[in-house]
A = this chain, B = another copy of it.
């Protein structure tokens, strides 16, 4: 069940299916606009035009402009929470699960570079309670990866490393693709980025067993793009 925080936002419309649909429409438009120009410079009129609705309509589904930002950020964070489990589905090997999870994370990043940057830029523009809600969603996502790391350690594929720190390094590494797109995007694609990056990060993390397993996975073909 995505969108746990849908609760708070005001609407004057009663048909809840319609509310769902319109909100999705507005969220899409908001992400596009905010990503392009930033939250503050974007006007409600911009969002209305992008969503191809009237200005008035927006205020039937949303209390104020900040709600649009909240919806946008929720959607961005939610995408991770949806995509990672999806990518993991059916995969059993811990090392492969780890790799696939990171790859999924980075791919979401890669496909929505602007949205990721948006999350970095504008989370602070939210009221405190909403900022906390967004941060909790981020923690939830990180936990998906942390679980994979712990499984690798339990399976003796990873050394007994500092999990929290390692997860954050991985997450930051993924975000870096978006945040420093102007540096990386010119020279490689996301999958190459993940490949090169993980290879570097795993050097000191894989056990001997882990290294072997990795080799066999590569022989069998790691899931690529």
Binding site for B on A (CB under 8 A): 38-41, 117, 120-122, 124-125, 135, 139, 159, 161-162, 165-166, 168-169, 172-173, 175-176, 179-180, 182-184, 196-197, 199-205
Name the B residues within 8 Å of A165 (CB-CB): 196-197, 200
* Residue of chain B at shortest CB distance from A204: B203
Name the B residues within 8 Å of A201 (CB-CB): 169, 201, 204
- For the complex, would chain A's binding face be called helix, strand, loop or mixed by DSSP majority? helix
The 9 tightest CB contacts between A and B, nearest first, are A203-B204, A204-B204, A40-B40, A172-B172, A172-B176, A121-B121, A165-B196, A120-B120, A165-B200
* Residue of chain B at shortest CB distance from A202: B204
With a 10 A CB-CB cut-off, give which of A139, A197, A203 has the most chain B CB atoms: A203
**Of the candidates B120, B183, B197, which one forms a contact with A179 in the assembled complex, judged by CB atoms under 8 Å apart?**
B120
Decide if A125 touches B172 in the complex (CB within 8 Å): no
**Of the candidates B39, B173, B182, which one forms a contact with A169 in the assembled complex, judged by CB atoms under 8 Å apart?**
B173
- Contacts A121-B122, A172-B175 given; 11 further ones with Cβ under 8 A? A39-B40, A120-B179, A159-B203, A162-B196, A162-B199, A165-B197, A166-B200, A168-B180, A169-B173, A204-B204, A204-B205
Docked complex Cα distance between A203 and B175 (Å): 22
**Of the candidates B162, B166, B200, which one forms a contact with A161 in the assembled complex, judged by CB atoms under 8 Å apart?**
B200
25 interchain pairs, CB-CB under 8 A: A38-B40, A38-B124, A38-B125, A39-B40, A40-B41, A41-B125, A120-B120, A120-B121, A121-B121, A135-B182, A159-B203, A161-B200, A162-B199, A165-B200, A168-B180, A168-B184, A169-B172, A169-B176, A169-B197, A169-B200, A169-B201, A172-B175, A200-B204, A200-B205, A202-B204
**Of the candidates B117, B162, B176, B202, which one forms a contact with A124 in the assembled complex, judged by CB atoms under 8 Å apart?**
B117
Docked complex Cα distance between A197 and B203 (Å): 15
Q: How far is the CB of A189 from chain B (nearest CB, A)?
A: 14
**Of the candidates B139, B172, B183, B205, which one forms a contact with A173 in the assembled complex, judged by CB atoms under 8 Å apart?**
B172
* Residue of chain B at shortest CB distance from A159: B203
Q: How far is the CB of A169 from chain B (nearest CB, A)?
A: 6
Name the B residues within 8 Å of A175 (CB-CB): 172
